[in-house]
A and B are shown apart, each in its own frame.
Chain A
Amino acid sequence: MKFSVRFSFWIKTVQAAALAVAVCFSLGATDAGSRFNDLGHRLMCTCGCAQLLGECNHVGCTESGRERKELSAAIASGQSDKEILAMFSGKYGATMLAAPTTHGFDLVAWIAPFAVFGAALLGTILLVRRWVTSPAGKAQAAQLAEPGTHDPENEALREKIRRETGGDGGF
């Protein structure tokens, strides 16, 4: 009974936290100024300077002024962010978007880094666990766990010796 009450408390806490995070992330820029700034940083200048539209200010740029005006007009016309990005992408090509979209093959661009990181993290943990639980690892651990070796006094002494002799070799 006690366990189920505690469990349901944690479930509710996690649900509330997830909801809060979802609300936070679902909120977007609302006023025209911040939308212009936000969208200006999701589009590229097409003059070839390889800068974001919102940041392109080099002398003699033939494109960014006109494109910014188009962006302002699109925001004023009440189009959604998605529609504006699609409009620019359609007019100037996919390279106008500063980052890949989240559909089709472009989605791979977003997934791959996290997939690789997750796989590498999992692999590393499994590898370390295998090492730790291997007969050699157990023998080393047993040696470490011999009575007295984890004594706080011994630990402090080891730490002191390490510092005073500088025998750490590095970090």
Chain B
Amino acid sequence: MAAFGSFALLIALALAAYNLLAGAVALRLLATGQPTAVSPERLADTARRAGIAGFVAISAAAFALIWSVFTNDFSITYIMEHSNRALPGAYKFSALWSGQEGSLLLWAWLLGIYGFVLRLRHKTDVRLFAYAGTILAGIQIFFLAVLNFAAPPFALYNGPLPDDGNGLNPLLQYAEMVIHPPMLYLGYVGFSVPFAFALGALMMRYPGEKWIKITRVWTLVTWLFLTCGIFLGMHWAYAVLGWGGYWGWDPVENASFMPWLTGTAFLHSVMMQEKKGMMKSWNVWLIFSTFLLTLLGTLLTRAGLVSSVHAFAQSSIGSWFATFMVIVLAVCIFTYILQRKHLQSDHQLESLVSRESSFLFNNLVLLTACFVILWGTLFPLLSEYVQGNKVTVGAPFYNRVAVPIGLFLLFLTGVGPLLPWRATSLRSIRRNFVLPVIALWATVFVCLAVGVSPWKAGVFDSGNFYALVAFALSAGVTTAILSEFLRGAGVIAKQTGRNLFVSTWLLTRRNTRRYGGYIIHIGVVVIVIGLAGAAFNRSAESELGVHDKLAIGPYTLECTGFTQDSNLNYSTEYALLDVYKGGTKQFQMTPEKRVYQISGQPQTMVAIHSVPEWDLYVVYEGTNPDTGQPIIKAMLNPLVSWIWAGLVVMVLGTLIALVPSQKPTAQRGGGQ
């Protein structure tokens, strides 16, 4: 199977190379109109078919690796290092992306899938799709070259064959790890498609904004995958790492967040180009940057330049990525300089206070946030270069710098939709803003009344202050969005005589993109409320023998015993904790401490009881070496479930935005 997999990768590389060369020659011939023996259209079609065949070859290689994992073929180094006989089936599958070589193969495979879909849909616009397909082939060549020459997944093990493999990293043996990396990779890799379209459209001086409409669904789907991937990663960190948090501003987390920020900026500013023919250069560079950031993130974490709790695969492929990034950047700059006249705006902004300028400021804030994260991630390297010693740029830095920026962005989320296009009048501002402002201040007073104040025990607390601001802004933004829904639904209700709920549904159907977008914003608000809850986290830690108690918030945990279990993969020890509230037993929690048989590595398995108010989060930390007593840590994390609920709302909003709008009856009839 190793030989089959290696051969499949080699064939895939050859096909990608043909795709790029034949595609480039055909497009050049089409552009110049030179007469040739072979029809450029037919040559372009052979390139497209080579791309499709390449996808089949990469799929064969991916299948070979999965087959090898399931058949415990430890003659392959990768399988030996990332699997073992007792590893459960689902985790054997996830071994595909648990190491350097496998995750690169997954990347190439997903790129192949995207390319396959793109090439099948080429009739939408044959020439533009030919450009995009050829550019994708160029990207594919890079990944296949790395897989063939720098990080071969089918490399054979040197030395006597072991009876069993080293096993999968215990941190990765968690249900979410089966779907989190593919989601994240679908997001990362997916941005190659809008990048290819943007570069292709620029190269061929594609007229109008049609390419944006074509790539809109690609971009939105990719963004959705990246969003889900990031949040699944957060949930994994929360449930597995056992520190009670979900976001630690780790370089790998940052690497996934940066393209998300620029991708979000692109999704907003692209509307300016569609509607007004503005910000053309800006949009092109946003999508170029997003693609480059996906590569930079991989470079930073895979090359071992920055350390991370999430980096499970490091090697010396950094130079490959750095070289590729330089090439991509050079191509982007060269193409932009050559074709920049094609990107001149059709219109200019007319007012500082308008929907257009709010998009501009939204982009400004999103890119500043991206810069802050990039700066914080790279500063340790810069410091080492300048001062000779590394420094840590951790959560305290980002909390001080990025949180205010995030709150400003939340403010813009509320303000933007209330501003009309072109320009606005003072009367219009007053009419649109009065309700949100009332909601904002009412929330401030309610929060202060219930004890959410910027002071903790008489001392100013920035966390509490930011939480108060976040709650108040969330109320304002929600009111602004709901008033937009109500205003539109009111018009429809008057027209059709339907009730407000049905009218809201009809309104959403008529402009899915706009109202789907608003629902995404509501999801963001729900997430921000959940994040703000972290300011009020509480924790308690104690050595807990049988019948000992630990109190936290309204709960009392009583230890009723400890029990052990084992299977072929790991042995585990559970703490049995009865949880009381108001003197009544509510439920039992069983945090675990596992030791994996093959690697001998210990791992905590957190017990979480989640209700809308908070999560009761219990960790069995281990045993005090001095006293021999088990240590239990309990945390009460307010509003955490709101974060996951907010993601569901965001997904729902994105799906609605992806559905084509229903045209009003008159318009449908008119078109016939």
Contacts and interface: CB of A to CB of B under 8 A. Distances in A.
A139 B351 CA distance: 12
Contact of A117 (B390, B405, B514, B621): B405
A100 B393 contact: yes
B499 interface: no
Contacts of B351: 132, 141
Contact of A97 (B392, B400, B511, B621): B392
Given A27-B459, A50-B250, A166-B514, A106 B391 contact: yes
A93 B392 CA distance: 10
B439 to A, nearest CB: 20
B348 A131 contact: yes
Interface stretch (A11-19, A71-79, A157-165): A157-165
B364 interface: yes
Interface size classification for chain B: 35 or more
B430 to A, nearest CB: 12
A144 B459 contact: no
A142 B304 CA distance: 58
Contacts of B275: 169-170
Contacts, number: 189
B289 to A, nearest CB: 14
A109 B460 contact: no
Contacts of B391: 94-95, 97, 100, 106, 109
Interface string A98-138: 11100011100110111011001100110011011010110
Contact of A137 (B248, B350, B397): B350
B488 interface: yes
A105 B661 CA distance: 54
Nearest to A125: B352
Contact of A124 (B360, B417, B495, B593): B360
A140 interface: yes
A140 B386 CA distance: 51
Interface string B236-260: 0000011111001010000000000
A29 interface: yes
Interface string B616-652: 0001011000000000010000000000000000000
Contacts of A159: 420
B401 A110 contact: yes
B453 to A, nearest CB: 11
A57 B394 contact: no
B428 interface: yes
A148 interface: no
B375 A59 contact: no
Interface in B254-298: 268, 271, 274-275
B360 A128 contact: yes
Contacts of A51: 241, 243, 248, 309
B551 interface: no
B215 to A, nearest CB: 15
A116 to B, nearest CB: 6
B372 interface: yes
Given A59-B622, A168-B511, A170-B274, A29 B397 contact: no
A152 interface: yes
Contact of B309 (A41, A49, A97, A140): A49
Contacts of A60: 602, 622
A128 B352 contact: yes
Contacts of A109: 375-376, 379, 383, 391, 393, 397
A34 interface: yes
A24 to B, nearest CB: 4
Contacts of B352: 125, 128-129, 132
Contacts of A52: 248, 394-395
B368 A113 contact: yes
A94 B514 contact: no
A51 B245 CA distance: 11
A114 B369 CA distance: 10
Contact of B661 (A49, A50, A144, A166): A166
Interface in B498-534: 507, 510-511, 513-514, 517-518
Contacts of A41: 395-396
B459 A28 contact: yes
Contact of B417 (A55, A94, A160, A171): A171
B158 interface: no
B600 to A, nearest CB: 10
B651 to A, nearest CB: 18
A155 interface: yes
Contacts of B350: 131-132, 137, 140-141, 144
A51 B600 CA distance: 22
Contacts of A168: 421, 511, 514
Interface in B420-441: 420-423, 425, 427-428
Contacts of B268: 171
A56 interface: yes
B243 A57 contact: yes
A52 to B, nearest CB: 6
Interface in B318-374: 347-352, 355, 357, 360-361, 364, 367-368, 371-372
A50 B425 contact: no
B457 interface: yes
A125 B391 CA distance: 35
Contacts of B513: 169-170
B428 A44 contact: no
Interface of A: 24-25, 27-30, 34, 41-42, 44, 48-52, 55-60, 93-100, 104-106, 109-110, 112-114, 116-117, 120-121, 124-125, 128-129, 131-132, 134, 136-137, 140-141, 144, 150, 152, 155, 159-160, 163-166, 168-171
21 contacts: A34-B459, A44-B392, A48-B307, A50-B307, A51-B248, A57-B621, A58-B243, A59-B621, A99-B394, A99-B396, A99-B397, A113-B401, A116-B371, A117-B368, A131-B348, A137-B348, A155-B425, A163-B507, A164-B491, A165-B667, A168-B511
Given A41-B396, A109-B379, 17 more contacts: A34-B459, A44-B394, A58-B243, A95-B392, A97-B391, A100-B393, A110-B401, A114-B401, A128-B349, A131-B348, A132-B352, A140-B348, A163-B487, A168-B511, A171-B417, A171-B514, A171-B517
7 A-B pairs closest in CB distance: A166-B511, A24-B460, A170-B271, A98-B394, A99-B396, A99-B397, A59-B602
